[in-house]
Amino acid sequence: MDHYLLTLWNSKSSGEVKVQELAERLNLSAKQTRRKLGQWQEEGWLTFQPGRGRGNESKLQWQKDVESSYEKHFLSKLESYSIEQVSKLLLFNWSTETKQRLMTKFQSKFGFNQEGQDRLIIPRFYRFLTYHPLKAADVHSANLIANLYNRVVALDDDNTVIPELAHSWEVKDNQLTLYLRKDVSFHDGSILKAEDVVQSFMQMKQDLIYAELWKPITKITSPAPLVVELEFPSGCTYILPLLSMMPASIYKESNGQVIGTGSFYMGENSDEKTVLHAFKHYFGERPLLDCVEFIQVSREFGNVYYGAHESREVGTFEVESDSGFGIVVMNPYRQSDIARKEVRDYIHMLINQNREQISTIDSRISANTSGCLIGYSRPYYMPKIAKPSLSKPLGLKYTGYTKDVSFWLKSVLEHAGICIELEEVSFHDALYHDHLKVEADLFIHGEIFELNQSFSYFNFIKNNLSPLRKITQSDPYLQKYIKGYDELPFEQWMNHHLRIEKYLIENSLCIPLYYSKRQIPFSINLVNIEIKHFGYVDLSKLWMKPKY
């Protein structure tokens, strides 16, 4: 199957043609296009008569229905080939009607498949960027990491610290002592040692993203087998929450592989699919599924999870989870009009006046009229002010997931007389290259907290990938408040968060824009769906009612 041939079939009917026009539609050179036309003519798909002389156009005549033939070929492959091989064919340029039919057939292959193994197959729109705990800056990768690794402790949303690799701990005299579980196996069969924990912590402490968070900890040692000590002479009120972070997962590197102790281990990670297998020697509760496969599919593919042997009429129910919030960040340190508070306040006022329209862009988002801390942030009021003069257009950068709301914001601002220059950056660059946001006058940032929003907010304003990092570093008032965390018990942080958020809002530096929700339909036969880290389902708890 040749995707160029299908593209041509769906874009050009029989008749007079220009080779250069066909080349542009196929994104090929004229020479490559003529070669393709000759090949397809030999195979009997079409006849092509080149134009002779100046002004005489070439003629194309179709001899077979390409899409109909390819559809039959697709359906035959669906019965005998692996799902990941067939999923590539869905990326071809099918007509809308045919693609919908093929998607329906293809989707019947997804879901829970019980053929000797309990296997769940999940559609994946994008490849996981990484499965290294220290390199995961996106929630998609972080959800994968949650299933592959463990931390020494976990932190619940109500501030409860839960044992994982450490069964007990003591905090006294500016020192934390961790007591590790015995006989915990890594996925390669080796046994967890205190030195592995020390090494993981040292890697995180030395990482540029998290170095600021680790600054209070001056020493990490293992004084005895299965014992780890961390020293922080000036105090560290957040030591246990710090160790509960997903990047604080314990891992080891062997033969170029990153290995964890989690409930699943990595079986395969390629462009076509990512496969997780249940770790039978897991120290905790073994997953009830044997295997989870994430298969690459196109964006048009539905996100409904059915059992592989269920009919399309099987009942479903929707599970809702938080997908975070969106904010508008304005950079006052730039040598542009955005450095003037009256300009930022005017933009802020316009956002406040139009924010309720945001749900018309995407039904999954709703106006955020208060702040980032759900249940704690309070609504606020922006007075009307006159439009200030601007010397030149403002630069707004955006990435794929903020494209629609960025274009909406541009429209709102330009309608009020503020000229905006848009620039798109890749998702990868927006995550890892701080200068892209630093060089924008304003941008929209989407954020989703891990589980405990109090510590997540602290990390949000403190780590070196934070969209607010340049602001917090250049503002003396914010620096003073951020240093205040060092003295304040973790349980009392929320009021401190609210003071910082109030300052950011009042100075039109960080403006709440939207909340985002995700609704996922699941088969009624899929049981124990529990939303966990970053609003994703905990794969280790899922199971399917057997068919009997």
Three-state SS annotation for 140-187: HHHHHHHHHCECCEEECCCCCEEECCEEEEEEECCEEEEEECCCCECC
- Measured between alpha carbons, how far is 523 from 314 in angstroms, rounded to an integer? 7
Q: Any bridge partners for residue 153, and if so which?
A: 163
77's tokens? 């492959």
Tell me how far apart the 2 most distant CA atoms of the chain are, in Å: 92
Do residues 47 and 61 touch, judged by C-beta distance below 8 A? yes
> Which residue reads 């003629």 in tokens?
59
CB burial string 218-234: b at 16+ within 10 A, e below: eebebeeebebbbebee
Residue 447, Ramachandran bin (φ over 0: left; ψ between -120 and 50: alpha; else beta): beta
CB contact set of 538 (below 8 Å; sequence gap of 6+): 146, 530, 531, 532
* The pairing of beta strand 442-447 with beta strand 394-398: parallel
Do residues 272 and 84 touch, judged by C-beta distance below 8 A? yes
| Helix (H), strand (E), coil (C) string for 74-143 | HHHHHHHCCHHHHHHHCCCCCCHHHHHHHHHHHHCCCEEEECCCEEEEEEECCCCCCCCCCCCCCHHHHH
Do residues 173 and 188 touch, judged by C-beta distance below 8 A? no
CB burial string 322-335: b at 16+ within 10 A, e below: bbbbbbbbbbbebe
The answer to whether the predicted template modeling score (pTM) of the entire model surpasses 0.85 is: no
236's tokens? 């560290």
| Range(s) within the chain of domains with CATH label 1.10.10.10 | 3-64
Residue 538: DSSP 8-state: -
Q: Which of 183, 222, 181 is nearest to 200 (CA)?
A: 222
The CATH number of the structural domain formed by 150-261 is 3.90.76.10
| Range(s) within the chain of domains with CATH label 3.90.76.10 | 150-261
203's tokens? 């890697």
Output the pLDDT for position 441.
96
Helix (H) or strand (E) holding 477: helix 476-483
- Measured between alpha carbons, how far is 439 from 527 in angstroms, rounded to an integer? 47
Helix axes 30-42, 19-26, angle to 10 degrees: 90
User: 79: buried, middle or exposed (CB in 10 Å: 19+, 13-18, 0-12)?
Assistant: exposed
Q: Which of 505, 511, 517, 508 is nearest to 359 (CA)?
A: 517
Residue 394 vs residues 112, 413, 443, 467, 507: alpha-carbon distances, Å: 50, 10, 11, 18, 18
Q: State the fold for domain 321-517.
A: Dipeptide-binding Protein; domain 3 (3.10.105)
- Measured between alpha carbons, how far is 448 from 138 in angstroms, rounded to an integer? 9
Phi, psi of 13 (to 5 degrees): -90, 175
| Range(s) within the chain of domains with CATH label 3.10.105.10 | 321-517
Q: State the amino acid at position 329 in one-letter form.
A: V
The CATH number of the structural domain formed by 3-64 is 1.10.10.10
pLDDT tens string, the chain, 548 residues long: the values are 888 999 999 888 999 998 888 998 898 998 999 999 999 999 999 999 888 766 678 899 999 999 999 988 888 887 777 666 777 787 788 887 787 677 667 756 655 555 557 788 777 888 888 999 999 888 888 889 999 999 999 999 889 999 999 999 999 989 999 999 999 999 988 999 999 999 999 999 999 989 999 999 999 999 999 999 999 999 999 999 999 999 999 999 977 889 999 999 999 998 888 999 999 899 998 998 888 888 887 766 655 554 444 444 556 666 666 778 999 999 999 999 999 999 999 999 999 999 999 999 988 899 999 999 999 999 999 999 999 999 999 999 999 889 999 999 999 999 999 999 999 998 878 877 766 778 899 999 999 888 799 999 999 998 888 899 899 988 999 999 998 898 899 999 999 999 999 999 999 999 999 998 876 666 677 788 787 777 778 888 888 777 66
Q: Which of 326, 332, 333 is nearest to 345 (CA)?
A: 332
